[in-house]
Amino acid sequence: MVIVIQCADKVGLVATIAGLLQGQNLNIVSMREHVDAIQNRFFARIEISKPVDANTLENQLKAALPEDAQVIVNPNPVKRIIVLATKEYHCLSDILIRNHFNTLGAEVLCVIANHATLQDICQRFDMPFHLISHEGITKEAFEAELDQLMQQYQVDYIVLAKFMRILSPSLVEKYPLKIINIHHSFLPAFIGANPYRQAYERGVKLIGATAHFVTNQLDEGPIIAQQIIPVNHSFTSKDMVKAGKEIETSVLANALQLVFDDKVLVYQNKTVVFE
């Protein structure tokens, strides 16, 4: 069972938490903590030995901690997710394979795409596939249909597996810190469209990928995971795209595992990641 805490820092927080858990005969299996001295912010992820009533424990911890404490007690480690995609298969196929073999740490409820390209691979994994075309309708109408469909599922997270549409602020606000995107550059470099072309034209010697939470600032949400690989003058923009797909798949898989394991805490557009 996992407990995630963030609050204002003060002397004695660890002792307070440990004492409260000890009083209920709960053994701490592991505890990771971090203090942001500049923001005076305390972060912790705790694993305890046995399940308890989540609401009761949350209320007890909140009463013992500073007033602004955010406490999540999550007895269910399997998150429920929806995947949004367009045409590119590499990230989606990796998610579907992990889901099929129960190594994803989450349950994929369905895939929603704005093109039919990936329907076949979803059918191969017996995954429900929904096509919502953006063509011939307004963005507002497209997102209204998308949101209506997503609301039919009780989801913990929405994963943008190369979903090549920019979501409107009104839709993003409905799912705060619940939408995870994979961006094909080492942010904050090369924000927006065609980052590999931008990297090629700039003559960079490293390219990368970034998994982040989606906010209303394009490609500037809290970063979960990043990775880079070297490139050189011999790489064309197509070579960079090919190499980049490998990184994108790896970074997204790593980020999802961290999030699904409740190892990512967000504060003021930054993350604390207990890897």
Q: Is 219 a catalytic residue?
A: yes
Residue 27 CA to residue 150 CA, distance in Å, equals 39
Helices 54-64, 13-23: crossing angle, 10 deg rounding = 140
Q: Which of 156, 219, 261, 262 is catalytic?
A: 219
- For the chain, strand residue ranges (E) read 2-8, 28-36, 41-48, 70-74, 79-85, 106-113, 129-131, 157-160, 179-183, 206-213, 223-230, 264-267, 270-273
Residue 32: which of 248, 272, 213 has the closest Cα?
272
The whole-angstrom separation of Cα 156 and Cα 175 is: 9
The identity of residue 110, as a single letter, is C
Residues annotated catalytic, as ranges = 219
